[in-house]
Each structure stands twice: as structure tokens, then as C-alpha cells.
Chains A and B, each alone.
Chain A
Amino acid sequence: MKFETPQTIEAATALLAADAGARVLAGGTDLLVRLRAGQIEPSAVIDIKRIKGMSDITQEDGGWRIGAAVPCSVMGEHDGLKAAYPGVVEGAELIGSTQVQGRCTMVGNLCNAGPAGDSVPAMVAAGASVRIAGPEGTRDVPVIDIPLSPGKTSLAKGEFVTSVFLPARPARSSDAYLRFIPRTEMDIAVVGCAVNLSLNEDGTVKEAHVSLGAVAPKVLDVPEAAAALIGSKCEDAALEALATAATAAATPIDDKRGTVAFRKDVSGVLARRAAKLAYTRAMGEKS
């Protein structure tokens, strides 16, 4: 097995294009675990952390561009990012433990393509996109289009993600992410839910996005659930309608982590709780 540390995007795409068995390494908190467990045997590991810009968080068109190698703990220490997208940051900060936080990345979480990735629903609800570099140049793709099914992404041979972009947002906007795990940490989401809201001046919801994780083969965008909130002030009736829509949208499986009925129920519960939290934040109140 070869280990490569390219210094440029072009060098990295060239290495990836040349070797079908090559794998990208960001924080390594998924890759190295799977390597040690004997689940994967890559012919080469391409570490992208040395590439310029890969570890930067920068403002762009009023939004934020986050490099593919930015560890989640760094996001948690970034005041601007936290103020704009508290839900995205809290999703990223739920991953693993302090040790894992120092290494893991949102892009790694996304490209691992696990249905339960904690940072993914809030990125989807935020309408985030990723920039992909490949042998043919770069392209921008909505986050929701990256995972295809468990373990599979839409990236083509030779391609890798260089950054995530969180768009500029109007005033009175905020978001929240909640997950359910049987323990308090070091666990994998049984259900995850992100809600992203923009409010009118009168406090009614102008725009809403609801995204569910761990209840389908890939992250879900649930417009029916979001629609339940439009025009409301997240009163009980609206939240109930939201919960019902979220429960209906979830298509989970029975497995060692939870039953279908449980995951559907909890999808609704978390949607309700996350919406309340996002609403409180958007109103500028302390949550």
C-alpha cells in the first residue's frame, strides 16, 4: 500500500485518476478504522491535508467556504460560523469524542456515505453544496446529491471534494440539529434531524428546510415537513403537522439499532424539538 501526500489539487486528482484502488484520507476516523478491521484494502491512501487551502474557513459571497480537511473541532471554535449556522456546527461537533473531533471532517462524514452521518442533515437543510475537483476540472454539487446509497457516492473516478459552501443567509435565520442515541456520546445516530428556518419580520416562518438522517438509505430532504411550518410561528399545531410529515417521510429499517416504528416516531419527535430550537435561535433568543 502506498501513502501519498500531494501538495496540489492537480497532483491529488492525478494520483486518484491513475489508481482505481486509491482512497482519499482526510481525518482518517472512518478510513483507518475500516482499514484496521480488514474491511478495505486500498492500494494507495491519498492524504489531502497538505494541499493548500484545504484547512481554511473563509467568507465568500456572504456565505462560508469550509475546506475539506477542516477538523470539526476547528468549526466549533469559529465564532462567525457558529453564529451563522449553529445547527451545522452542532451536527459536526456531535461526531465522536474530543479525540475524534480533532481529526474528523464534515466532508469525510459525507463521503463515507453512511446513512447516519451526523453532519450531513444540517448541511442538506442549509442548502449547502460541495466543490469537487477532478481530472476534468471543478464542479459544484448540492450536498444531497453526493451520497447515493450506503457507502456509495456520486463522485467519479479521479474526483474528490475540496470544500463545502454554506450560502449567505438573510436576517432572522437559524438552524438546529438533534440526534437520538441510546447513550450520551460515542454512538451512532438512530435518528437525526436538522431544521433550517428563515423568519419574516413578524416572526412567521418564511422559509423552512427539514432533513432527516439514519431513517433511509441516504439523508432525506423532507419538503412536506418543511411546508407545515411555513407561515406559522411554530405553534403546537404546526409542530404536530411537521412531526406527522417527518414520521411519514421516514423509511427506516428494523436493525440492531432500532425498529421501524421507533425510528418513525422519533423522527417526528426530533423534528418538533429541532424546529422549536431553530425558531428560538432565529428569533434571536437564547436557546
Chain B
Amino acid sequence: MAKDEFTPRTFKVVGTRPPRPDGLDKVTGRARYGADMSAPGMLIGLCLRSPHAHARIKSIDTSAAEAMKGVKAVVTRADFTTTPEDQGTRDILDNVMAGEKALYDGHTVAAVAATSRSVARAALKAIKVEYEVLPHVVDVDEAMKPDAPVLHEGRQQESVPKGYSQNVLARSQYGHGDIEAGFKKADIIVERSFTTAATHQGYIEPHACLATMGNDGQGDLWCCTQGHYMVRNTCSAILGMDAGRLKVTASEIGGGFGGKTTVFLEPVALMLSKKAGKPVKMTMSRDEVLRASGPTASTSIDIKIGMTKEGKITAAQGEFRYQSGAFYAMNGALGAMCGFAPYDLENLQSVGWEVVTNRPKAAAYRAPGAPMAAFAVESVMDELAKELDMDPIELRLKNAAEEGTKSAYGPTYPAIGLKATLEAAKAHPHWSAPLGKNQGRGLACGFWFNFGGDTCVSLMINPDGTVSLSEGNPDIGGSRAAMTMMAAEELGIPYEHVRTVIADTATLGQNEVTDGSRVTFAVGLATIKAARHAIEIMKTRAAATWGIEPDAVEWVDGAAQPAGPNAGKFPPMTLKEIAAIASNTGGPIAGHHEVNAEGAGVSFGTHIADTEVDPETGAVKVVRYTVFQDAGKAVHPDYVEGQLQGGAVQGIGWALNEEYIYGKDGTLQNAGYLDYRIPVASDLPMIEPVILEIPNPGHPYGVRGVGETGIVPPLATLANAVSRAAGVRMTSLPMSPPKLLAAIKAS
């Protein structure tokens, strides 16, 4: 449809920085998060978790717990009698309540609901689980070996060649051309191996929910999630009930970053409630969040790139081995697709591997799979720039993908902004600023697909001329403000006249999860379309009032007016005037739009960091950091800047100190924020965001998603900066002081 496409225009609301509608609630504590909801007669639910990395569950005796005063329900896997149809949902069930085996430290094996937290805690202690402890594996390379302890038998896909452990679930290959011929043409080849540790999204709000299942088979669920439709569909499949009988309401959300795109507590809370006949509230402790939610994959990656003396890539090859915890996840494939995406390559072979280990199942984390891949590829690019004595930006510009380039993962790019970010970086004073003693500057690029997907929006014209907008995507980065702005822009009314709410699952049709940087793009698109739908109706009402054809009416600055002198001479009718008489002109007015949004524009970013290394301790200080990213169109620039800064900060943590540390027994050693080291404010310089706007042809306002790309370049950016500052190439993340000092001393 022609109208989906970008048409240049002058914006009135879009591009300004109004206060966010949810801001006051959040700073005053009025906002209600997952744990803030209560119900009469509510019970407290707690999980019993496996202390072993890998163990067969021989028996579970819940009788003593059940007999305790105040204990209203105990559930184990035996209570989940429905087998969900698809493998993905069966994996989720196995993840939220262990079946025959506990597959990682923290895996839930039973749960209780009791009248108080202390009774529930006592009840957990009274449950007797008999385990047969099995050998475990947590390292990706170890898990691939043919003699590694096996998590699941018979789950390996045909794509995996012989000679690997059953833990290797899938192999996928991307690329084109002939790499052997390409490497022959190279004047210089650099080949390196890299590793990255698993990290956690580190959202502030732990998972929490309140579940109510009635005897009539109807359920209500309040929870903190990035997608309540996903929660409804998954939970109803696991509980064996009709999706329409379960109403899910999303709470305010204290961060997710991809980690809340699946369920953990929700099916358990519903089952407890069903069994107890009372509402059940569950909240995770921080320890539980780290042990048993969805961190990232850890990786082991090999990269080989060949170049001519002039710096043109002749061939590139990558092996991306990702362990995604105890169940299948498509992370290695995403890494293999994204790592080389910034470059125009004649010859490429990029292979992704999906490996299971005795760790919690990886969930999405901002551009899942891409940051680690970019770390490896961009590190080799930096080493080549050094070898060839070329400016890292020039080297990248020589090879940068642009409109018409066949991408690393297949499709040919439409208009993209990579070169624009590189040119902006080159022109920025940061790139040429002098460096101090022990300092080094790093640069890296990053790519993310972005996504559209199923989206529904309803836009109601209220009798007083205000507008109520309902969307179905939890607002995790300021999207209510963005939707409000786009509705106001399209309708031609002030921002303050629109209020956007996140509707529950009974109110709108299916909505994809808030993920893939999709919301401002897809929900924005649906909002604009819903507004246009409402405008069409309002034009019809005005036309009827004037006695002219609807075609002869146009919508300008929030009012209907005759389209030209031939249409007749009538004073404009404002939205407010049309709303006031709607009852007499045909009834209430509302627009809506339902779509599987396509045309999400891919997004690129380039980051620059200056770091200072203490050569005696290996301590790294980030001195300066600048982000350049293409936003298509920044609807609310504050929130775009926030996304760019937040992505950079999370990437800095990943690069420097964050890491899942496992003991010899396969248990997590640092399940808390003391030893899982997220950067604190004083660790960081002000991150300078530079927004570029290369319109996305697939969105009426040119919007691209911006939420994920920002975390892709920082790992490599920091590695390149630290490697240059320390005079030694760092190929393993995190570059924690002990590791960096050892590397400095060894060099």
C-alpha cells in the first residue's frame, strides 16, 4: 500500500521532547509493577530449586509440606498433565518445572503456595527430593565434544555433522561466493579465536506475578512481562485451557531488555492457584533471577578475514559456537547472520552452532547473538587496520555495505545508514582528540535486523475531543510517549489531548512481544493507520454535515475542511466539533488497525571509546564514549538517546566485568549484584549519543527501531580500545582486571 511508505513531511509533534506520560507515576512510586498487585485471600508462592547442575529426579515427597498448617498447594511436574503441541512450548514447560531431570543449578523442581512467606519457606524445606547427581557441562566447547555429558537425547537436527555430542542441536550456514578463491587473493589474512562469557540483562525489577484461576476455568494473570499475549498463549497451552479464558494484564515493567520475552513463574503460579483455589503471588529474589531466568549465551568464535594491501576484504569466514543453556535457542545462527552484516563481501562463509549446556536457558538480550559476533569480527578488522597501518574508519568505509549490497544473511539492502554513521564518526571531534598516557581509542560497527510483526491498535475519539489510544505492547522504553506523539501528529491535535494505555489481552487482537526493536516502528505504524482510519470517518461525518461528498473533504491541522473551492465553502470542523456531534452523525468514532507489519528497516551503529588502562593492576577506565546510530526518525529524541546510552552502558559492562561464573560443581558462584558486576554510575563517562536520521522507506514517518543496535558495537569497541591502550590483543571477555593484567604481563 502506497501509504505505508515514507513520505517526507514537516513534523509538529514528532521530534520534540515532551514529558513522558508515565513519568510522574514512576518518580512518585504510584506506578504499579509486578509485585505491587494484591488480591483478597492471596497466597504466597515459592519455588524449590535444584542445587545441582545436572541430576535425575528419582523422587519427590511433598507429603510433609502438604500437611503443614498454612500450606494450600504444592505442585510438581506431575500436576502438569497437558503436553503442549509444539516443541518450543514443551521446552518452556520443562524449563519452568523440571521433568525427569534438573538441568541446571536453580531449575525449579517443585513449588508451594502458603498463607505467608515464612510458611512457604518452611514448606520448601519440608519437601524431600531424591536426586541422582549426573556429570554436567557448562562450557560450550566442552559440551560439543563427543564424550560430553548429554542433556537431551535425540534432539539433534540433521544439519549437524557426525562426530559431535548430542548437545549440539543445530548448525546453520550463511554466505555466498567462494571463500577459498577469496583467501587466495588476499595479501594479508588474520585468523583469531574469541570467547565471551554469559551475561544477564540486569533489569532492576525481578520477575513477579499474581495469578487467579477460578473453579469455572477462567483465569486472570497480572505480571511483569514484555509481552502479555505471549504469556497468555504460552500459559494457556501449558495449562491446557483456551487462550480466551485467560486474561493477562501487563504491569509496569522495570526493565526487560529481552529477558522478559518468555515465562518463568507464570504457569507455576497459575497451577498453584488452580490447585489452591486462591490467588497466588510469586516474586523472584535477585538470586533466583540470576540463577534461573534467561541470561545470554556464552560463546566461542573463530574469525578469519583476508584483505588486499589496499584494505579491501577478499574473503571472510566465521564459526559462531553459542551455548544457550539447557534448551534450544537460535543464537549462534543470529550471530552468524549479524557478525559480517556491516560489510560488502564477495566471499563469505558464516556458520552458527546451537549448543545446550547445564545452565539456565538463554533468553533474548538486546540484539540477541549479535554483540558477541561483532566483538569477534570487529576485533579482527581492528587488527587488520593496525597491520595495514590504516585508519579504522577508512578501512571500514572501504568495505561498508550500502544500498544494493547483498547482505551477509542473504537479502539485498535497501537504503541503510552504515556509511553515514562512519562519516559522522570521522567528522566528530572525538575521533581526532589527543590521547593521554596509557590510553587507547577503539572503534567498531554493529548491525541489527529490527522487526515488525503482529500488531493491533485502537484509537477512540472521545465526546470531548480527546483521544484514547489502546495498544498491546508493554512500554519498556517510553513507547507510550512515542505513540501519543504519532497519534497527535497524524490527527493534528496537541500531545496532551491523547492518552495511550497498554490494553490487556481481552481488549485487542494478537500483539507480538515488545522485542526486536519493533514497537515504535510497528505499533507506531498501526497507530498512524488507526488515526488515518478515524480521520476517514471524521471526514465522512463532516461531509454529511455539509452535504458534500466525503472525497471532497480533506484533513488539515486537526480539522476537516472542503478540499478546494469547488467542494463548497464551509468553515473547517475541528476534531473537537466533530466529536461533540458524533452521536447525531452516526455514533461514536474510533479508528483501528491490525497488521503484520513488514518493512522494519535494519539499523547500524558505530561507536568510539577511549579507555585508560592501569598497566600495574589491569584496571580499565572508560574515559570517553560516543555513539553514532541511525534512528530513521527519532520520534522522541530523549528516549532514542536513552536507548543509545543504555545499550552502550550494558555493552561496557559485558566487555569489562559482567560474567556468569560457575564453580567446578556447575553451580553459579555470583548470583547477586555484589559479584555480578554491572557498571555503577561512577564507572562511566557521559555517553554522547549522536542520532542520524536516514528514513526507513517502510514506515510513514521513516522510523527504524533503535533499542537493540546500541549494544552490538560496544564489546568490540572496548576490546579495540583496551587492546590499543594495553598493547596486547584481548580476545576473551570480560576483560576483567585479573585477565587483563595477566595478558599484559605475558606480552
Complex interface: chain A residues within 8 A of B745 (CB): 265
| Distance to closest chain B CB from A220 (angstroms) | 19
Contact of A183 among B616, B669, B680, B741 (CB under 8 A): B680
Q: Are A182 and B680 touching (Cβ within 8 A)?
A: no
Q: What 0/1 readout, one digit per residue, does chain A (159-196) give for beta carbons within 8 Å of chain B?
A: 00000000000000000000010111111101000000
Q: Are A183 and B674 touching (Cβ within 8 A)?
A: no
Complex interface: chain A residues within 8 A of B670 (CB): 256
Chain B interface category by residue count: 20 to 34
Q: Are A256 and B682 touching (Cβ within 8 A)?
A: no
B675 interfacial contact with A, CB 8 Å: yes
A266 interfacial contact with B, CB 8 Å: yes
A82 interfacial contact with B, CB 8 Å: no
A34 interfacial contact with B, CB 8 Å: no
Q: Are B738 and A259 touching (Cβ within 8 A)?
A: yes
Question: Given known contacts A256-B670, A256-B675, is B742 in contact with A262 (CB within 8 Å)?
Answer: yes
CA–CA, A185 and B677, complex, Å: 11
Q: Are B680 and A184 touching (Cβ within 8 A)?
A: yes
Q: Are A256 and B669 touching (Cβ within 8 A)?
A: yes
A38 interfacial contact with B, CB 8 Å: yes
B580 interfacial contact with A, CB 8 Å: no
Q: What 0/1 readout, one digit per residue, does chain B (698-738) give for beta carbons within 8 Å of chain A?
A: 00000000000000000000000000000000000000111
Contact of A182 among B121, B661, B669, B677 (CB under 8 A): B677
B496 interfacial contact with A, CB 8 Å: no
Q: What 0/1 readout, one digit per residue, does chain B (473-502) give for beta carbons within 8 Å of chain A?
A: 000000000000000000000000000000
Q: What is the chain B residue whose CB lies nearest that of A265? A: B741
Q: What 0/1 readout, one digit per residue, does chain B (619-641) give for beta carbons within 8 Å of chain A?
A: 10000000000000000000000
Q: Are B680 and A180 touching (Cβ within 8 A)?
A: no
B679 interfacial contact with A, CB 8 Å: yes
Q: Are A182 and B657 touching (Cβ within 8 A)?
A: yes
Contact of B738 among A183, A187, A188, A262 (CB under 8 A): A262
CA–CA, A186 and B674, complex, Å: 8
Chain B residues 311 to 347 lying within 8 A of chain A, measured CB to CB, are none
CA–CA, A265 and B619, complex, Å: 13
Question: Given known contacts A182-B656, A256-B661, is B677 in contact with A261 (CB within 8 Å)?
Answer: no
A257 interfacial contact with B, CB 8 Å: yes
Q: What is the chain B residue whose CB lies nearest that of A269? A: B616
Question: Given known contacts A262-B737, A266-B617, is B682 in contact with A184 (CB within 8 Å)?
Answer: yes
Chain A residues 232 to 287 lying within 8 A of chain B, measured CB to CB, are 255-259, 261-262, 265-266, 269
B618 interfacial contact with A, CB 8 Å: yes
Question: Given known contacts A38-B121, A256-B669, is B737 in contact with A183 (CB within 8 Å)?
Answer: no
Q: Are B657 and A261 touching (Cβ within 8 A)?
A: no
Complex interface: chain B residues within 8 A of A183 (CB): 657, 677, 679-680, 682-683
Q: What is the chain A residue whose CB lies nearest that of B663? A: A256
Q: Are B674 and A188 touching (Cβ within 8 A)?
A: yes
| Distance to closest chain B CB from A273 (angstroms) | 9
Complex interface: chain A residues within 8 A of B616 (CB): 265-266, 269
CA–CA, A131 and B145, complex, Å: 60
| Distance to closest chain A CB from B189 (angstroms) | 34
Q: Are A258 and B738 touching (Cβ within 8 A)?
A: yes
Q: Are A185 and B680 touching (Cβ within 8 A)?
A: yes
CA–CA, A259 and B657, complex, Å: 14
Chain A interface category by residue count: 20 to 34
CA–CA, A184 and B619, complex, Å: 10
Complex interface: chain A residues within 8 A of B657 (CB): 182-183
Question: Given known contacts A182-B677, A183-B657, is B617 in contact with A269 (CB within 8 Å)?
Answer: yes
Complex interface: chain A residues within 8 A of B618 (CB): 262
CA–CA, A37 and B121, complex, Å: 12
Q: What is the chain B residue whose CB lies nearest that of A258? A: B738
Q: What 0/1 readout, one digit per residue, does chain B (677-688) give for beta carbons within 8 Å of chain A?
A: 101101100000
Contact of B737 among A37, A182, A185, A188 (CB under 8 A): A182
CA–CA, A261 and B675, complex, Å: 19
Complex interface: chain A residues within 8 A of B682 (CB): 183-185
Complex interface: chain A residues within 8 A of B121 (CB): 38
Complex interface: chain A residues within 8 A of B677 (CB): 182-183, 187
CA–CA, A17 and B490, complex, Å: 75
Q: What is the chain A residue whose CB lies nearest that of B657? A: A182
Q: What is the chain B residue whose CB lies nearest that of A273? A: B616
| Distance to closest chain A CB from B686 (angstroms) | 15
CA–CA, A136 and B509, complex, Å: 76
Q: What is the chain B residue whose CB lies nearest that of A38? A: B121
Complex interface: chain A residues within 8 A of B674 (CB): 187-188
Q: Are A257 and B679 touching (Cβ within 8 A)?
A: no
Q: What is the chain A residue whose CB lies nearest that of B662? A: A256
Contact of A262 among B656, B669, B741 (CB under 8 A): B741
CA–CA, A37 and B742, complex, Å: 35
| Distance to closest chain A CB from B659 (angstroms) | 9
CA–CA, A269 and B619, complex, Å: 12
CA–CA, A37 and B680, complex, Å: 23
Q: What 0/1 readout, one digit per residue, does chain B (649-681) give for beta carbons within 8 Å of chain A?
A: 000000011000100000001100011010110
Chain B residues 605 to 622 lying within 8 A of chain A, measured CB to CB, are 616-619
Chain B residues 28 to 44 lying within 8 A of chain A, measured CB to CB, are none
CA–CA, A180 and B736, complex, Å: 12
| Distance to closest chain A CB from B570 (angstroms) | 65
| Distance to closest chain B CB from A188 (angstroms) | 6
Q: Are A261 and B736 touching (Cβ within 8 A)?
A: no
Q: Are B683 and A180 touching (Cβ within 8 A)?
A: no
Q: Are B619 and A180 touching (Cβ within 8 A)?
A: yes
Sample 18 A-B pairs with CB under 8 A, ordered by A number.
A180-B617, A180-B619, A182-B736, A183-B657, A183-B680, A184-B680, A184-B683, A185-B680, A187-B674, A187-B677, A188-B674, A256-B661, A256-B669, A256-B670, A256-B675, A262-B738, A265-B616, A266-B741
Q: Give 18 new A-B contacts, CB below 8 A, not counting A186-B680, A255-B669.
A: A37-B287, A180-B619, A180-B737, A182-B656, A182-B657, A182-B737, A183-B680, A184-B680, A190-B737, A259-B742, A262-B737, A262-B738, A262-B742, A265-B616, A265-B745, A266-B616, A266-B617, A269-B616
Residue ranges of B at the interface with A (Cβ–Cβ < 8 Å): 121, 287, 616-619, 656-657, 661, 669-670, 674-675, 677, 679-680, 682-683, 736-738, 741-742, 745
